[in-house]
């Protein structure tokens, strides 16, 4: 095992939220509601196929102070990992 793979740990989400088929503002609103139910430090994985998702989520975390850990895109589906910070 390389040093990189030994030290790299994939982030595991505490909660998952499927927003496929939903369009602005619903992915952001559902993410907000899900984060309200979580405790500080927990991670949410949200998936969305809304083309505006990346810009919307980037803006939302900047406004709310939560941490955007990762954005992945597979075809038309975005996968966001967000950590609750407050």
> At 9, is the pLDDT very low, low, confident or very high (cuts 50, 70, 90)?
low
Give catalytic residues, as residue numbers.
24
- Phi, psi (deg, nearest 5) at residue 18: -100, 110
DSSP state of 64: H
Asked, for residue 48, whether it belongs to a domain, the answer is yes
The percentage of residues in the chain with a pLDDT greater than 90, rounded to a whole number, is: 86
pLDDT score for 11: 85
Task: Please give the average per-residue pLDDT across 10-26, as a whole number.
Answer: 94
- 2, pLDDT greater than 60: no
- For residue 23, being part of any structural domain is answered with yes
Total of domains in the chain: 1
Q: Report if residue 76 sits inside a domain.
A: yes
pLDDT tens digits, residue range 28-58? 999 999 999 999 999 999 999 999 999 999 9
Domain presence at residue 20:
yes
Structure tokens at 78: 């975005």
CATH number, domain with residue 18:
3.30.110.40
Confirm if 28 and 60 have CB atoms less than 8 A apart: yes
């Amino acid at each position: 095992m390389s040093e990189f793979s030994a030290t790299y740990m994939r982030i595991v989400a505490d909660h998952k939220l499927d927003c496929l088929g939903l369009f602005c503002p619903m992915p952001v609103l559902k993410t907000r509601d899900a984060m309200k139910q979580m405790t500080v430090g927990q991670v949410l994985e949200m998936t969305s196929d809304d083309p505006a998702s990346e810009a919307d989520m980037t803006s939302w975390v900047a406004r709310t102070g939560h941490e955007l850990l990762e954005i992945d895109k597979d075809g038309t589906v975005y996968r966001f990992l967000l950590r609750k910070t407050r």
